[in-house]
A and B are shown apart, each in its own frame.
Chain A
Amino acid sequence: MAEKELQVREKQEVQTDAEHTMPGAVFTPAVDIFESEVAITLLADMPGVPSDGVTIDLHNDELKVMGEVESQGSKNETPLVREYETGRFHRHFSLSDRIDQDKISASMKDGVLRLVLPKVEKAKPRRIEVKSD
């Protein structure tokens, strides 16, 4: 595969009608979501979010992923060039009810969240035999 050059993508601010209760910008993290026979896995880019800054909320088949960022730099610094903004991350998805909520696992590494949502047994694919008369 030829080496691909990364392009700058502007961070997407969350568009919502509701007002945020906390001040500061809120961004939508870029995600990969893939599914295997046993689980749905979500990877989200959330730079600046420490392991304890992630909140995952699964309620009524709605999955909410939130990330609180640590501030970058100290207050004594004077900004000279600002090409990107920092702020919290927030994104939500609606899921089917096939997730085994007790077995959800999440880990954070180098600013990437990996969330594994195991499927419940009965939702695993089942081969259906077609009978002929």
Chain B
Amino acid sequence: MAVVRWKPGFFGWHRDPFTEVDRLRREVDNLFGAHGRGIASTAGVFPALNLSEDEDNLYVRAELPGVVPEEIEITTKENNLIIKGERKIAAEGEKVSYHRREREAGSFRRIISLPTRVDAEKVTAVCKNGVLTVTLPRAAELKPRKIEVAST
């Protein structure tokens, strides 16, 4: 708890309103898990996604350890990307006893709306070491185009 300076106000003593606002903002940040690392609050839907862009493509990444590529289904629909799949954990036989069981199996389905239009025909997806990367090329008409200035 920070030491707050008290100021005499019109009706007596009350806190500096700006300090109060600042404190509230920090508390809200904490509530959503943003510890100044630029982490957005998650959508609460599996899997957690990272979205980035460069000049030509949008990239959507998700950590899906133990999910085989055949179990992932990716579809684009208008401006949305849908990632569906199932994580299966094979049974290890009747005779084993578990000390810990933290890994979970189950299905997932997530939809994300993309910030720009993409060329749906050229979307590619790779799963490497349990990390899925979907590369979505920007629609041709949205790509930055250099315009030559002609001299007459």
Contacts and interface: CB of A to CB of B under 8 A. Distances in A.
Interface of A: 3-10, 30-37, 40-41, 43, 45-50, 70, 72-74, 76-85, 108, 110-112
Q: Is the interface of A mostly helix, strand, loop or mixed?
A: loop
Contacts of B49: 81, 83-84
Interface string B77-118: 000000000110100110111111111111111000001000
A80 B104 contact: no
B65 A45 contact: yes
B48 to A, nearest CB: 4
B63 A111 contact: yes
Contact of B102 (A31, A41, A84): A31
Nearest to B64: A47
B76 interface: no
A5 B107 CA distance: 5
Nearest to B57: A77
Nearest to A75: B54
The 5 A-B pairs of least Cβ separation, nearest first, read: A111-B130, A111-B65, A4-B106, A47-B63, A47-B130
Interface of B: 33, 37-40, 42-55, 58-59, 61, 63-68, 86-87, 89, 92-93, 95-109, 115, 127, 129-131, 133
Contacts of B97: 34-35
B38 A33 contact: no
A127 B93 CA distance: 22
Contact of B129 (A70, A77, A81, A83): A70
A39 B99 CA distance: 13
B79 to A, nearest CB: 14
A6 B33 contact: no
A34 B131 contact: no
Given A48-B63, A79-B38, A110-B67, A30 B102 contact: yes
Contacts of B104: 4, 6-7, 9, 30
Contact of B51 (A33, A40, A80): A80
Contact of A6 (B87, B93, B99): B87
A77 B58 CA distance: 9
Contact of B61 (A36, A72, A112): A72
A48 B130 contact: yes
Contact of B43 (A4, A70, A83, A85): A83
Contacts of A10: 33, 42
A74 B135 CA distance: 13
Given A47-B63, A49-B129, A83 B42 contact: yes
